């Protein structure tokens, strides 16, 4: 099956890629042709023109999108990205993939995605705020706490989410409505545990995969490609489970120490030196050497298309947990499956983020806030069940985990559509 890539630009038209995935899944699970047609198209797509007054007094007009794929299981959910290469087809594909992602972890949300064609690095803070508020104003009629709850994505964060929340709140009643969006700072309704959620989710799925393969975590060695937020927390948490981190990389290079690193020391060193290179006791290696290092668990947490048909046969690990979006190509997937490498796909492995976003929304709706321990306990329960569901589907269909995860998701969404029916 085609790779379940969230944000993979390896093809010219990601929407066609998403449609091909759906078509292949439909054949596998014998999906009702009518349901297939419904799922092939977003329920709603909004394109907006965004005039913004720039700091020098000139006016620029940006284009923004919001794609709402399917809400049979609950409100649309998905991020907003700011990037020069945002396209309508990309946003449509991402909204479909978000539908599957929410269904895989079995939370009552559907898939949405938004984007603005811009280069945020070339905008001042005031220009970004004016652009963000204009976009929030323009999509305000189709988002809301019970209809569509956006979130951060590429080149957006808590600052943009705060501006969107404030704009929406002023438009819809002039009182704070934090439940309209997630990924907010803690002081205005964000959730504890959100920063670590993606890495924590990776560590949970790794733990469950090790159980299925009868691998004691105390005997596990781990390689992490990409030592950013997700990679750091994943490394730290699998280390707490007993595993040994033997190699890591960042944009500046890769290092190895077969005796293992202390993750907290490595994080401290990276924060001080902006790279892991030069860490005491380490040896420099290439990125290719890192990926093919013998280990128990490989965690790609960097860029897409890192494991390809050219290096997949050299991968020497038992488990791959995709913290990054789309690190494995479809051709590589087939090779890894034949070589009995268990790949935990991105839509499952890195779904801790959307799960804790769901928790943030629940807390906002109830105007109550949970302890970090409670957030982590609930996240553990949801992702443990999700892993088991996907693993069982992979056995049932005799296929890889990626294909099984999408099949499981499509079945859940299809069942919701059938039960609700078509009205009027």
pLDDT value for 162: 98
Q: What is the pLDDT at residue 6?
A: 40
Residues 245-287: tens digit of each pLDDT: 999 999 899 999 999 999 999 999 999 999 999 999 999 999 9
Sheet holding 221-225, edge to edge: 283-285, 253-261, 244-250, 221-225, 297-300, 319-321, 342-344
Other CB atoms within a 10 A radius of the CB of residue 309 amount to 13
Q: Which residues of the chain carry a pLDDT beneath 50?
A: 1-11
Q: How far apart are CA 246 and CA 276, in angstroms?
A: 13
pTM of the model: 0.91
What pLDDT does 13 receive?
Answer: 82
User: Residue 58 burial (CB < 10 Å; 0-12/13-18/19+)?
Assistant: exposed
CA angle, residues 217, 218, 221, in degrees to nearest 5? 75
Signed CA dihedral, 296, 302, 308, 311: sign only: negative
Q: Which are the catalytic amino acids?
A: 113
- pLDDT of the residue at 12: 60
Q: What is the pLDDT of residue 239?
A: 96
Return d(Cα 77, Cα 137) in angstroms, integer. Answer: 18
The whole-angstrom separation of Cα 168 and Cα 82 is 19
CA distance 47 to 173: 25
3-state secondary structure of 321: strand
Which among 422, 345, 357, 376 has a CA at the least distance from the CA of 75?
Answer: 357
* Integer Cα distance of 320 and 317 in angstroms: 7
The rounded distance, in Å, linking the Cα atoms of 273 and 250 is: 12
Q: What is the bridge-based pairing of β-strands 110-117 and 76-83? A: parallel
Q: Are 136 and 52 in contact (CB under 8 A)?
A: no
**Degrees, nearest 5: CA angle 116-72-19:** 60
Cα end-to-end distance, the chain, whole Å = 35
d(CA 150, CA 75): 10
pLDDT at 305: 86
Q: What percent of the chain has pLDDT over 90?
A: 91
Alpha carbons 177 and 188: distance in angstroms, whole number: 10
The alpha-helical segments, DSSP class H, found in 243-371 are: 263-273, 287-291, 330-338, 346-349, 352-366
Domains along the chain with CATH numbers: 41-177 (3.40.50.10860), 197-349 (3.40.50.720)
């Amino acid at each position: 099956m085609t790779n379940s890539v969230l944000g993979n630009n390896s093809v010219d038209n990601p929407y066609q890629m998403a449609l091909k995935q759906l078509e292949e899944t439909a054949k596998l699970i014998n999906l009702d042709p009518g349901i297939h047609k419904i799922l092939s198209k977003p329920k709603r797509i909004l394109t907006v023109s965004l005039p913004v007054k720039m700091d020098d007094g000139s006016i620029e007009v940006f284009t923004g999108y919001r794609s709402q794929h399917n809400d049979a299981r609950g409100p649309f959910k998905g991020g907003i990205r700011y990037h020069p290469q945002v396209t309508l087809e990309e946003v449509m594909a991402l909204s479909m993939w978000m539908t599957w992602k929410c269904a895989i972890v079995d939370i009552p949300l559907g898939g949405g995605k938004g984007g603005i064609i811009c280069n945020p690095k070339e905008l001042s803070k005031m220009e970004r705020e004016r652009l963000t508020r204009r976009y929030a104003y323009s999509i305000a009629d189709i988002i809301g706490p019970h209809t569509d709850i956006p979130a951060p994505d590429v080149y957006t964060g808590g600052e943009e989410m705060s501006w969107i929340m404030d704009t929406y709140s002023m438009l819809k009643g002039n009182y704070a409505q934090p439940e309209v969006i997630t990924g907010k700072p803690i002081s205005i309704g964000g959730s504890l545990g959100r920063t670590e959620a993606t890495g924590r989710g990776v560590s949970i799925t790794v733990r469950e995969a090790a159980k299925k393969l009868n691998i004691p975590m105390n005997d596990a060695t781990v390689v992490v490609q990409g030592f950013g937020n997700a990679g750091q927390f994943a490394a730290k948490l699998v280390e707490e489970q007993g595993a040994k981190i033997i190699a890591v990389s960042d944009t500046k290079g890769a290092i190895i120490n077969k005796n293992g690193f202390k993750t907290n020391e490595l994080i401290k060193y990276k924060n001080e030196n902006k790279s892991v290179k030069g860490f005491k006791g380490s040896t420099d290696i290439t990125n290719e050497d890192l990926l093919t290092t013998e280990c128990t668990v490989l965690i790609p947490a960097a860029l897409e298309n890192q494991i390809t048909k050219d290096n997949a046969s050299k991968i020497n690990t038992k488990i791959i947990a995709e913290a990054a979006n789309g690190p494995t190509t479809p051709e590589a997937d087939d090779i890894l499956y034949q070589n009995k490498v268990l790949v935990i796909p991105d839509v499952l492995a890195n779904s801790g983020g959307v799960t804790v976003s769901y928790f943030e929304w629940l807390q906002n709706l109830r105007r109550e806030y949970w302890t970090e321990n409670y957030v982590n306990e609930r996240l553990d329960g949801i992702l443990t069940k999700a892993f088991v569901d996907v693993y069982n589907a992979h056995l049932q269909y005799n296929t890889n985990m990626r294909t099984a995860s999408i099949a499981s998701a499509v079945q859940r969404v299809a069942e919701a559509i059938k039960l609700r029916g078509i009205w009027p």
